[in-house]
Every structure is written in structure tokens, then in C-alpha cells.
Amino acid sequence: MRLLFLLVWSLLTVLPAVAQQFHGGIRAGLTFNNKLGPRETDPSGAEAENIRYNTGFHVGPTFSYDFNRYFSLRTELLFAQKGYRYDYDGGSYLVLPFEGGGTLVTSGNRDMALEVDLNYLQFPLLAVGRFGRLEVLGGVSFNFLLGARAEGRLFYNDANQLLPELEIPQEHRYFSDAHERVGKGEDIPVLLGGSTVLVPERMGAYYENPGTEEDLYRRFEASLVGGLGFYLGTGLFLSGRVQYGLNDITNNEQDFKRSTLDEEQQVILTDDFDRNLTFELSVGFRI
């Protein structure tokens, strides 16, 4: 009986002290993301690709354990919108199916613009040092891709003028689009001599590289994290962070050149290493 009493008394005295070292909170703000990697040149050698920052948001709860007033460990569960803006303007090609079978391969000029949205669930694990109102943090983040999509336009001018000037909307759903050269909506027939070429009303994610079942984007990403925070009061704080991706976010089976085809008129795959670079500006509250 005395042993049971001592055990209960110990729990009642120790648990409140331990609980005071745990803190929750919330953090939300803006995300600025870009994709780092090689840029493609067109057949003339001119730089054709341009990749720019995209803006999104992030939000989620935070959990901290304070070892003392200067050092703590923190984890978070964040929904984060990432992505980038992609442009290709230069010499290229376009492959379209004939009605009844076969394909037409043309060369010309491509002016293509895509706004890519990548939605992640992020689990950062951070070591935090606090010096008065200022905190410094660093660690790693394990990020799981929930969804990937893109919208945009493709303008194409055939160098041999076999085709009229084309404008094809881009509607990419990277985890649900079919891996085949089939357009979305009603195909638009274009007469070419005695044959009919089918131009897609809208072009899906894998229309131009239908030869593999691999999706373009990988489901998992790991990144290094560093940042600063500043407390405006007891719980309210502002923070800025940077994330540097450690792994390739794209599958090489879907990384292909838009400038040229091979001798067999097939896409040329590349082994480009593409990573996310992310900046976050946040406001949060710690309880």
C-alpha cells in the first residue's frame, strides 16, 4: 500500500513539471518555391527553358519540448503548397496522331508556359536555440507529395507549314492522367493532303511521352531546413525559413528533351537532377 501511494504521489508531482515542458502552437504563411536543375537549350544552342518561383501558402500545428530556456526540439505537421513556373520558348517538335493510326512528326517553334502546383505534407524535425526573443533553428524535413498538377498553354508553329499555327491548352494531372497519346475533350481534325491529323482539345500530362507508366513526380522528398524566428510577445512570433531539397523530385523515365527527338523519332530521356528550393515567411503562436 505504501509503495502504491509513493508511485501515485510521484506521478502527481512529476507529470505537471514534465507537461510544462511541452508546448503546442500553430504556424501559417507564404511559400516561395522554385525548381533547381539543368536548363535545356534548343537545337540552335540558345537557352530555351526558364523556371521561376511560384507562390503558395503553408499552415499547420507545431509541437515543442523544452529542455531548458535555451534549447528545445520541435516538430510540425504542415500542409505546404510548392511548385514553379515553367517556360519553354525555342526550337522543338510536335508529334500528333493520324486518324486511323500512325503519327505525324513535325519540327518548328514551341512557346509553352506551365504553372505547376505541388502540394506536400511536411514533417520537419528541428533543433531550436533561443536567445531572448530570437530563435535559431535547423534540421531536416520529410515531405510527402499529396497532389501534382499544372495548367498552361502551348503555342506551336510548324517550320514546314504543314500545320496551321496551333494553340493547345495544357491540363496536367500527374497522378491521374493516362499514360498515352490521347487528348482530353474532343480531338480537332486537321486535313493534311488525304489524311486527317488529330489535334487534342486539351493536352494531358503524358501526351508527349506515353511510353512509360512512371509518373513525373516522386512521392517523397527530404530537405535540409534552416531559419530564424522572432517573438513579438509571450507566444506570437514571426519566422523565416529556407528548405533545400536533398533528392531528385522527378523520375528520369519522364524527364525528356523538348528540343529534339532521337533518330527513331522517339523522345530523348535525360538524367537531370531537379530539387526544390523553398522560402517560407510565417506568423505563428506558441501556447
pLDDT by residue (tens digit) across 39-75? 999 998 899 999 999 999 999 999 999 999 999 999 9
Q: What is the pTM of this model?
A: 0.90
pLDDT by residue (tens digit) across 107-160? 999 999 999 999 999 999 999 999 999 999 999 999 999 999 999 999 999 999
Instruction: Give the residue-averaged pLDDT of 204-215.
Output: 92
pLDDT level of residue 20 (50, 70, 90 thresholds)? low
Please give the share of the chain, as a percent, with pLDDT higher than 90. Answer: 86
Instruction: Give the three-state DSSP class for 116.
Output: strand
The maximal CA–CA distance of the chain, rounded, in angstroms, is: 100
Q: Quick one: how far is CA 18 from the chain centroid?
A: 39
Residue for grid cell 500553430: 26
Does residue 5 lie within any of the structural domains?
no
Does residue 10 lie within any of the structural domains?
no
Residue 179: give its domain's CATH number.
Answer: 2.40.160.20
pLDDT level of residue 4 (50, 70, 90 thresholds)? very low
Does residue 259 lie within any of the structural domains?
yes
pLDDT by residue (tens digit) across 171-207? 999 999 999 999 999 999 999 888 999 999 999 999 9
Does residue 23 lie within any of the structural domains?
yes
Does residue 2 lie within any of the structural domains?
no
Does residue 251 lie within any of the structural domains?
yes
Does residue 3 lie within any of the structural domains?
no
Asked if residue 42 lies in contact with residue 48, where contact means CB atoms within 8 angstroms, the answer is: yes
The count of domains in the chain is 1
Does residue 95 lie within any of the structural domains?
yes
Task: Give the domain extent around 137.
Answer: 18-286
Residue for grid cell 510540425: 76
Q: Is the pLDDT of residue 10 over 80?
A: no
